[in-house]
Amino acid sequence: MLSSPQHEATQPKTAGQVPVLAPGHNMRSITDKISDIVLKPKGGIGWVIGFAITFALTMQLLFSIGWLLLRGIGVWGNNQPASWAFDIINFVWWIGIGHAGTLISAILLLLRQQWRTSINRMAEAITLFAVANAGLYPLLHTGRPWLDYWLFPYPNTMGLWPQFRSPLVWDVFAISTYLTISLLFWYMGLLPDLATLRDRATGKIKRMAYGIFSLGWRNSARHWKTYEQAYFLLAALSTPLVISVHTIVSFDFAVSVIPGWHTTVFPPYFVAGALYAGFAMVLMVAIPVRKIFNIEDFITMRHIRNMSIIMLVSGLVVAYGYLTEGFAAWYSANPFEIDTVLLLRFVTGPYRVLAWLLIACNVVIPQLLWSSRVRSNTVLIWLISGVISVGMWLERFVIIVMSLTNDFLPSSWAMYAPTVTDIAMYTGTIGFFLFLLLLFIRFVPMISAFEMRELLHKVSHSGDHHSSSNDSQHGGEVVPVPGD
């Protein structure tokens, strides 16, 4: 089904405002461009090289895990008192990266924000891949991951139950819930587009594979009704997870009495930091992807600017959290809190360079985003996003390591340094994340085609009451008829 030329997207916009969908598209051109990325890949040697590098890093991750299981967690740099180190640092960092996907997909959907349409599926995929990496660390940190099923309250003859006062159990329930809802939400949104690929694919294996995963989608009114009910229900379930999951992660620290951890500012501060890191990662992925696959007309500068503004706002909340944390330590008049949070972190401590570096990365440099010129420069935004990602990792290092290595008993103070296995496993998770991302781009539409058609219908028919009945249903047919 083709839209007539008068139905092409000519979205009205005010002066200086970039549209969420570039003009010149019709229903067929949107479907063709998105589906051809999967069905007619043009990655060439670049995609193969990237795949080979990320596959090698994934094998490095698997080798590091195998070495860990063979030798025990002593191959990590963990010591006493720094029993939480690279494993929990990377766990909190990865789980934070996954938060932007839920915000973009669920909350902006419920708020009817049209600019989410081009980036929601990519953000959801980033969420899944980040949470998958995050979940590895608590399970491996037990030292006996083959017994990790003990963390769940399964029926057993010995009457053993998990220790629900343990932060490890909280993390298991938070991650499993978050991963389950996010996976269902992501897969639910894929069904109409998988059906489109099923009907457009030329190879028998592709048709069969996409046919199986599309679950018999036929674009009927009954399917659409059920789909919309389930999709909005999952969005409503996902929305509180944005706050609850990282709040639970912050409780791992806030409920303790360790200097630098025992503060009530951690829950909102951690949630803001998760959104900060999450949007930084989405921008780091979206900016090169839109250039490589020539989809600047779908992911426009309006998307980049909006995400930059949200990143700036969440960064200001993080900066306020730093100030509140320092003020609370000073106001408590507790010498251990003052020494750990203020003096050792920034003045006399062995890791003070890292503490000042995180302030530069998370507070100072992102202030460039106040400039509209910077928000219009994709190279600068990509660099700033990378700086923020580094800064958020440093924040976790400073909070976890410096508080543990300088506790109440000076005689137990000790330095911490990561081992080769620590670094190999961390870089391996980055490679595994990119490996999954490349597979996602290669086999799944990175942009929701049916939602883009629905967006086109809205912007092209704004003020037009004479649209055809075919165009008015869900932005056009989801399963295009060959030769139509």
Cβ atoms within 10 A of the Cβ of 222, count?
8
Instruction: Spell out the residues 6+ positions from residue 53 whose beta carbon is closer than 8 angstroms to its own.
Output: 431
Count of structural domains, the chain: 1
Does residue 167 have a cis peptide bond before it, meaning omega lies within 30 degrees of 0?
Answer: no
Q: Would you say 335 and 281 are in contact if contact means Cβ atoms under 8 Å apart?
A: no
**How buried is 55 (Cβ within 10 angstroms: 0-12 exposed, 13-18 middle, 19+ buried)?**
middle
160 φ, ψ (degrees, to nearest 5): -85, 135
d(CA 119, CA 404): 39
Task: Identify whether 477 is part of a domain.
Answer: no
pLDDT at site 377: 92
Q: Which domain holds residue 383?
A: 5-472
DSSP code for 360: I
483 occurs within a structural domain: no
Spatial CA neighbour of 31 closest among 437, 455, 467: 455
CA atoms of 274 and 92, how far apart (whole Å): 9
- The one-character DSSP state at 118 is T
Are 447 and 122 in contact by the 8 Å Cβ rule? The answer is yes
Where does 83-170 show beta strands of DSSP type E?
A: none
Is residue 370 situated within a structural domain?
yes
How far apart are alpha carbons 115 and 117 in whole angstroms? 5
Question: Longest Cα pair distance anywhere in the chain, in angstroms?
Answer: 80
CATH number at residue 93: 1.20.1630.10
Report the b/e string of 234-248 with b at 16+ CB within 10 A: bbeebbebbeebbbb
Close Cβ partners of 477 (under 8 Å, ≥ 6 residues apart): 1, 27, 219, 470
**Secondary structure letter of residue 104 according to DSSP:** I
In a domain, 478, yes or no: no
Structural tokens at position 194: 């998988």
How distant, in Å, are the alpha carbons of 249, 387, 410 from that of 89? 11, 17, 23
d(CA 228, CA 357): 46
Distance CA 344, CA 34 (A): 53
Each as own residue / partner, the long-range contacts of residues 453-458 (CB below 8 Å, 24 or more positions apart, any chain) are: 453/27, 453/30, 453/31, 453/478, 454/117, 455/20, 455/21, 455/114, 455/117, 456/3, 456/9, 456/21, 456/25, 456/26, 456/27, 456/30, 458/114
pTM of structure = 0.87
| Predicted pLDDT of residue 43 | 62
How far apart are the C-alpha atoms of 393 and 291, rounded to whole Å?
A: 27
pLDDT, residue 381, reads 95
Residue 478 in tokens: 């989801």
pLDDT of residue 462: 58
pLDDT attached to residue 482: 34
* 7 Cβ contact list (under 8 Å, min separation 6): 26, 27, 460, 461, 467, 471
Instruction: Tell me, yes or no, whether 93 lies in a domain.
Output: yes
What is the pLDDT at residue 110?
A: 84
Considering only CA atoms, which of 210, 281, 280 is closest in space to residue 445?
210
Q: Could you tell me if residue 398 is inside a domain?
A: yes
CB atoms within 10 A of CB 49: 11
Contact 302, 374 (CB under 8 A): no
Residue 480 lies in a domain: no
| Residue whose pair of structure tokens reads 């049209």 in the numeric block | 114
Q: Decide: residue 292, CB within 10 A, 0-12 exposed, 13-18 middle, 19+ buried.
A: middle
Q: Assess contact for 189 and 214: CB atoms under 8 A.
A: no
Task: Output the DSSP codes for 250-268.
Answer: HHHHHTS-STTT--TTHHH
Q: Which residues of 370-385 are buried (b: 16+ CB within 10 A; e: fewer)?
A: eeeeebebbebbbebb
pLDDT digits (tens), the chain, 484 positions:
333 333 334 444 443 467 777 777 778 888 888 888 888 876 678 888 999 999 999 999 999 999 999 998 889 988 888 888 888 999 999 998 988 888 888 888 888 888 888 888 899 999 999 999 998 998 898 888 888 888 888 887 777 788 888 888 888 888 888 889 889 989 998 999 899 889 888 888 988 999 999 888 888 888 889 988 998 888 888 888 888 888 998 998 988 888 888 888 999 989 999 999 999 999 999 999 988 888 888 888 888 999 999 999 999 999 999 999 999 989 988 888 898 888 888 988 888 999 999 999 999 999 999 999 999 999 999 999 999 999 999 999 999 998 888 877 787 888 888 999 999 999 999 999 999 999 999 889 988 888 888 888 777 665 433 333 333 333 333 333 333 3
- Contact assessment for residue 445 and residue 121, using Cβ atoms and an 8 Å cutoff: yes
